[in-house]
Amino acid sequence: MPDIHFPIDINEVKGFLASDEGEALYQLAISCARQGPILEVGSYCGKSTLYLGTAARETGNTLFAVDHHRGSEEHQPGEEYHDADLFDPQAELMDSFREFRRNMRLAGLEETVVPVVAPSGVAARHWATPLGMVFIDGGHSLEAALTDYRSWSRHLVPGGLLAIHDIFPDPADGGQAPYDIYKLALASGQFEALETVNTLGILRRL
Protein backbone atom coordinates (compact mmCIF):
# COMPACT_ATOMS: atom_id res chain seq x y z
CA MET A 1 0.00 0.00 0.00
CA PRO A 2 1.45 3.39 -0.97
CA ASP A 3 2.11 5.97 1.73
CA ILE A 4 -0.56 8.57 0.89
CA HIS A 5 -1.25 11.47 3.23
CA PHE A 6 -4.61 13.24 2.93
CA PRO A 7 -5.46 16.33 5.00
CA ILE A 8 -9.04 15.02 5.18
CA ASP A 9 -10.52 11.58 5.82
CA ILE A 10 -10.79 9.95 2.40
CA ASN A 11 -13.43 7.57 3.77
CA GLU A 12 -15.72 10.53 4.49
CA VAL A 13 -15.68 11.69 0.86
CA LYS A 14 -18.75 10.57 -1.08
CA GLY A 15 -17.97 8.27 -3.98
CA PHE A 16 -17.84 4.75 -5.32
CA LEU A 17 -14.10 4.16 -5.68
CA ALA A 18 -12.60 1.28 -3.68
CA SER A 19 -9.43 2.01 -1.72
CA ASP A 20 -7.29 -0.39 -3.78
CA GLU A 21 -8.50 1.33 -6.96
CA GLY A 22 -7.69 4.76 -5.52
CA GLU A 23 -4.23 3.64 -4.47
CA ALA A 24 -3.63 2.29 -7.97
CA LEU A 25 -4.69 5.63 -9.48
CA TYR A 26 -2.25 7.41 -7.18
CA GLN A 27 0.64 5.16 -8.22
CA LEU A 28 -0.25 5.49 -11.91
CA ALA A 29 -0.39 9.28 -11.64
CA ILE A 30 3.01 9.31 -9.96
CA SER A 31 4.48 7.10 -12.68
CA CYS A 32 3.28 9.23 -15.62
CA ALA A 33 4.09 12.66 -14.19
CA ARG A 34 6.75 13.46 -16.80
CA GLN A 35 4.50 12.56 -19.73
CA GLY A 36 1.94 15.30 -19.29
CA PRO A 37 -1.01 16.45 -17.19
CA ILE A 38 -3.74 14.14 -15.94
CA LEU A 39 -7.41 14.35 -16.84
CA GLU A 40 -10.31 12.60 -15.17
CA VAL A 41 -13.87 12.36 -16.46
CA GLY A 42 -16.43 12.00 -13.70
CA SER A 43 -15.25 13.64 -10.49
CA TYR A 44 -18.53 13.53 -8.52
CA CYS A 45 -17.55 14.72 -5.01
CA GLY A 46 -13.84 14.25 -5.55
CA LYS A 47 -12.79 10.89 -4.13
CA SER A 48 -10.78 9.87 -7.20
CA THR A 49 -9.68 13.50 -7.54
CA LEU A 50 -8.02 13.33 -4.13
CA TYR A 51 -5.91 10.32 -5.14
CA LEU A 52 -4.97 11.74 -8.53
CA GLY A 53 -4.62 15.31 -7.30
CA THR A 54 -2.37 14.34 -4.41
CA ALA A 55 -0.07 12.52 -6.83
CA ALA A 56 -0.15 15.52 -9.17
CA ARG A 57 0.74 17.91 -6.36
CA GLU A 58 3.62 15.73 -5.20
CA THR A 59 5.08 15.62 -8.71
CA GLY A 60 4.38 19.21 -9.77
CA ASN A 61 1.74 18.08 -12.24
CA THR A 62 -1.81 19.33 -12.97
CA LEU A 63 -5.10 17.46 -12.86
CA PHE A 64 -8.04 18.54 -15.01
CA ALA A 65 -11.30 17.33 -13.45
CA VAL A 66 -14.11 17.19 -16.02
CA ASP A 67 -17.66 16.83 -14.72
CA HIS A 68 -20.94 18.68 -15.34
CA HIS A 69 -21.80 17.90 -11.69
CA ARG A 70 -25.43 17.17 -12.52
CA GLY A 71 -24.96 13.46 -11.86
CA SER A 72 -25.20 10.40 -14.04
CA GLU A 73 -28.40 8.51 -14.73
CA GLU A 74 -28.16 6.52 -11.50
CA HIS A 75 -27.82 9.68 -9.35
CA GLN A 76 -31.14 11.23 -10.33
CA PRO A 77 -34.17 11.35 -7.98
CA GLY A 78 -35.76 7.95 -7.65
CA GLU A 79 -32.69 6.11 -8.92
CA GLU A 80 -30.50 3.68 -6.97
CA TYR A 81 -27.61 6.02 -6.15
CA HIS A 82 -29.52 9.26 -5.61
CA ASP A 83 -28.17 11.30 -2.69
CA ALA A 84 -30.71 13.81 -1.40
CA ASP A 85 -27.94 15.86 0.22
CA LEU A 86 -26.59 16.66 -3.26
CA PHE A 87 -29.93 17.75 -4.71
CA ASP A 88 -30.46 21.47 -5.30
CA PRO A 89 -34.16 22.10 -4.60
CA GLN A 90 -34.08 25.59 -6.11
CA ALA A 91 -32.73 24.39 -9.45
CA GLU A 92 -34.48 21.03 -9.06
CA LEU A 93 -31.26 19.41 -10.23
CA MET A 94 -28.53 17.29 -8.71
CA ASP A 95 -25.40 19.36 -7.97
CA SER A 96 -22.18 17.80 -6.64
CA PHE A 97 -19.95 20.80 -7.42
CA ARG A 98 -20.27 22.52 -4.03
CA GLU A 99 -19.23 19.32 -2.26
CA PHE A 100 -16.42 18.81 -4.77
CA ARG A 101 -15.05 22.32 -4.22
CA ARG A 102 -15.27 21.91 -0.46
CA ASN A 103 -13.23 18.70 -0.60
CA MET A 104 -10.59 20.26 -2.86
CA ARG A 105 -10.26 23.21 -0.47
CA LEU A 106 -9.96 21.00 2.61
CA ALA A 107 -7.41 18.80 0.84
CA GLY A 108 -5.32 21.78 -0.24
CA LEU A 109 -5.65 20.92 -3.91
CA GLU A 110 -7.02 24.17 -5.32
CA GLU A 111 -3.63 25.02 -6.85
CA THR A 112 -3.32 21.57 -8.46
CA VAL A 113 -6.81 20.60 -9.61
CA VAL A 114 -8.50 22.54 -12.42
CA PRO A 115 -12.26 21.89 -12.41
CA VAL A 116 -13.82 21.82 -15.86
CA VAL A 117 -17.56 22.10 -15.19
CA ALA A 118 -19.07 20.96 -18.47
CA PRO A 119 -20.29 17.83 -20.24
CA SER A 120 -17.38 15.70 -21.42
CA GLY A 121 -17.99 16.19 -25.12
CA VAL A 122 -18.35 19.95 -24.74
CA ALA A 123 -15.13 20.22 -22.71
CA ALA A 124 -13.26 18.21 -25.35
CA ARG A 125 -14.53 20.19 -28.32
CA HIS A 126 -11.46 22.44 -28.63
CA TRP A 127 -9.06 20.54 -26.38
CA ALA A 128 -5.46 20.60 -27.61
CA THR A 129 -3.29 19.73 -24.61
CA PRO A 130 -1.46 16.35 -24.79
CA LEU A 131 -2.19 14.22 -21.73
CA GLY A 132 -0.07 11.78 -19.75
CA MET A 133 -3.02 10.00 -18.16
CA VAL A 134 -6.79 9.81 -18.64
CA PHE A 135 -9.15 8.32 -16.05
CA ILE A 136 -12.70 7.60 -17.27
CA ASP A 137 -15.45 7.25 -14.68
CA GLY A 138 -18.31 9.21 -16.20
CA GLY A 139 -21.82 8.21 -17.21
CA HIS A 140 -22.38 4.48 -17.64
CA SER A 141 -24.70 4.57 -20.61
CA LEU A 142 -23.05 3.33 -23.79
CA GLU A 143 -23.46 6.77 -25.39
CA ALA A 144 -21.78 8.53 -22.44
CA ALA A 145 -18.94 6.01 -22.20
CA LEU A 146 -18.25 6.18 -25.94
CA THR A 147 -18.22 9.97 -25.82
CA ASP A 148 -15.70 9.93 -22.97
CA TYR A 149 -13.45 7.42 -24.70
CA ARG A 150 -13.56 9.06 -28.13
CA SER A 151 -13.17 12.56 -26.71
CA TRP A 152 -10.14 11.99 -24.50
CA SER A 153 -8.17 8.84 -25.37
CA ARG A 154 -6.94 10.47 -28.59
CA HIS A 155 -5.13 13.12 -26.55
CA LEU A 156 -2.92 10.62 -24.74
CA VAL A 157 0.76 10.78 -25.61
CA PRO A 158 2.55 7.53 -26.58
CA GLY A 159 3.20 5.68 -23.34
CA GLY A 160 0.34 7.56 -21.66
CA LEU A 161 -2.06 5.68 -19.38
CA LEU A 162 -5.78 5.09 -19.84
CA ALA A 163 -7.66 3.92 -16.74
CA ILE A 164 -11.34 2.93 -16.95
CA HIS A 165 -13.45 2.36 -13.84
CA ASP A 166 -16.24 -0.20 -13.34
CA ILE A 167 -14.96 -2.94 -15.65
CA PHE A 168 -17.32 -5.91 -15.31
CA PRO A 169 -16.60 -8.75 -17.77
CA ASP A 170 -19.63 -10.63 -16.36
CA PRO A 171 -22.88 -8.74 -17.10
CA ALA A 172 -24.33 -10.16 -13.89
CA ASP A 173 -21.87 -8.03 -11.91
CA GLY A 174 -22.61 -4.64 -13.46
CA GLY A 175 -23.23 -2.48 -16.51
CA GLN A 176 -21.23 -3.20 -19.64
CA ALA A 177 -20.52 0.24 -21.12
CA PRO A 178 -17.13 0.75 -19.37
CA TYR A 179 -16.09 -2.78 -20.35
CA ASP A 180 -17.22 -2.10 -23.92
CA ILE A 181 -14.92 0.92 -24.27
CA TYR A 182 -12.10 -1.05 -22.61
CA LYS A 183 -12.49 -3.73 -25.31
CA LEU A 184 -12.78 -1.02 -27.97
CA ALA A 185 -9.46 0.46 -26.87
CA LEU A 186 -7.76 -2.93 -27.13
CA ALA A 187 -9.35 -3.67 -30.50
CA SER A 188 -8.08 -0.35 -31.86
CA GLY A 189 -4.51 -1.63 -31.75
CA GLN A 190 -3.46 1.64 -30.08
CA PHE A 191 -3.46 0.32 -26.51
CA GLU A 192 -2.05 -2.58 -24.55
CA ALA A 193 -3.57 -3.94 -21.34
CA LEU A 194 -1.38 -3.59 -18.26
CA GLU A 195 -3.44 -4.85 -15.34
CA THR A 196 -6.82 -4.75 -13.65
CA VAL A 197 -7.18 -3.64 -10.03
CA ASN A 198 -10.59 -4.66 -8.71
CA THR A 199 -12.83 -3.00 -11.37
CA LEU A 200 -10.16 -0.58 -12.63
CA GLY A 201 -8.84 -1.50 -16.08
CA ILE A 202 -5.46 0.00 -16.95
CA LEU A 203 -4.03 0.34 -20.47
CA ARG A 204 -1.03 2.04 -22.05
CA ARG A 205 -1.08 4.02 -25.29
CA LEU A 206 1.32 2.48 -27.81
Write out pLDDT tens, residues 153-205: 999 999 999 999 999 999 999 889 999 999 999 999 999 999 999 999 999 99
Is residue 161 domain-resident?
Answer: yes
Is residue 141 domain-resident?
Answer: yes
Q: How many domains does the chain have?
A: 1
Is residue 14 within 8 Å of residue 44, measured between CB atoms?
Answer: yes
Give the separation between CA 92 and CA 89, rounded to whole angstroms. Answer: 5
Catalytic (active-site) positions: 140
Give the separation between CA 3 and CA 43, rounded to whole angstroms. Answer: 23
Judged by DSSP in three states, 162 sits in strand
Is residue 110 domain-resident?
Answer: yes
Is residue 35 domain-resident?
Answer: yes
| pTM exceeding 0.85 | yes
Write out pLDDT tens, residues 93-110: 788 999 999 999 999 999
- Looking at residue 52, which CATH number applies to its domain? 3.40.50.150
Domain of residue 46, residue span: 10-205
